[in-house]
Structure 1
Amino acid sequence: MRIREATVPDAAGIAEVHVRSWRAAYRGLVPQHHLDGLDPAERRDRWSALLADDRRPRAGTLVAELDDRIVGFASILPARDEDLDPAVYGEIAAFYLDPGVWRRGIGRRLMAAALARLAAAGYPRAALWVLDGNVRARRFYEATGWRCDGTVKVDDSRGFPLTETRYRREVGDLVRREK
């Protein structure tokens, strides 16, 4: 397994993982018609544009590869929440694994790499948002040192409400322990 910076040609692989992960992780949490309508080609176009907008080191995307196939990705950027200083807080804006590799340690390695990337970008702290009912993800984040800070928001940009909960952590803790 290898973790590296994503490039524009990775957009299709990222889009496939994104759609497969949503369909598996959000079943029963997101309307099924929405999950059924997810289009990897549409996501590929969005990911191509995002990956072309290189804002390293303060933002970027990492991919996890297994047998030369993208099986996960993590995107970081300055925190977007008004109550968090983007000079202090980085955000993991997306963190997804292909369901076929869940519970194989790839997520932990990808999270460690994302935290190391945040530290290298100068962020001492990090935040992320998780779908409130996504118990599997919440357990994973808590097992990797994230703590719910009690902040909740409702995203209705897709035509239905999604309640999300914010998690935060110190970035340097895990990075220092793993060196």
Structure 2
Amino acid sequence: MADAGVHLATAADLAEIIRIHRETWRLAYAQLLPQEVLDTLDTEEAWAMAVQQGAVLKAVEGEWTVGFAVASRAPDDEVAKADGSLPEDADTTALLSVLVEPRWGRRGHGTRLVAEATKRLAEAGATRGIAWVPEADKASRNFYERLGWSGDGTVRTLDAGGRPLREIRMSGPLAVRLDS
């Protein structure tokens, strides 16, 4: 394998991050989401703001960007309990989203992204992380479980273009070993 690493994304990385997001979701979630939803995934404006805020990391192998992670403080509505109340650690809970292009999978990129993201989050005062995963996405659930995260019992159903999409919230520690 060529040199692999994780770096803070810059504005120069936007086009590739957007491409990876759209193409990977179109492949992985074609059976879960209607085509019109897949065609309107996040805008460049939303990605530009996340990159500007330092919330996006990119995984590289050699000269190729192969995946990314978005990591930031979790908004209250993302961390709230099922009854709407906030847990005691709401102010120190981080929201994490990781995506590696399938052709680059199983090479440690996702784990490296999570390790770097959780390190940065912990340094900023976060104490645990959460991630929302489609219930039918067993590969993503297994990935988080291998990192020591688990479903915390909270589920949500999103309206995905008239088709319900059920997601489970994974939760776990911010200590990730690269040999996991």
Match of 1:151 in 2: 154
Q: Distance in 1 between matches of 2:139 and 2:98?
A: 13
1:90 aligns with 2:81: no
Letter of the 1:87 counterpart: D
Alignment of structure 1 residues 2-151 onto 2, 5 Å: 2-35=5-38, 37-38=39-40, 43-52=43-52, 54=53, 60-80=55-75, 81-82=79-80, 83-84=86-87, 85-92=89-96, 94-151=97-154
* Counterpart amino acid of residue 61 in structure 1: V
Q: Which runs of 5+ in 2 are unaligned?
A: 81-85
Tell me, yes or no, if the aligned pair for 1:20 and 1:99 is still in contact at 8 Å: no
Q: Which runs of 4+ in 1 moved over 6 A?
A: none
For residues 99-145 of structure 1, the C-alpha deviation after alignment (integer angstroms, 9 at most, x for no partner) is 11111221111121121121111111111110111011111111111
% identical equivalent positions: 34
Give the TM-score, by structure 1 length: 0.83
The count of corresponding residues between Structure 1 and Structure 2 is 167
> Structure 1 residues 34 and 67, CA, compared in 2 at 3 Å: closer, same or farther?
same
Instruction: From the superposition, tell whether residues 46 and 158 of structure 1 become closer, same or farther in structure 2 (CA, over 3 Å).
Output: farther
Q: Cα offset for 1:46?
A: 2.8
Instruction: Give the direction of change, closer, same or farther, for the CA distance of 1:168–1:73 in structure 2 (3 Å limit).
Output: same
Give the superposed CA RMSD. Answer: 2.1
Q: Deviations over 1:22-53 (max 9, x none)?
A: 01221212224543x257xx63343123323x
Taking structure 2 as the reference length, the TM-score comes to 0.82
CA distance in 1, matches of 2:117, 2:47: 18
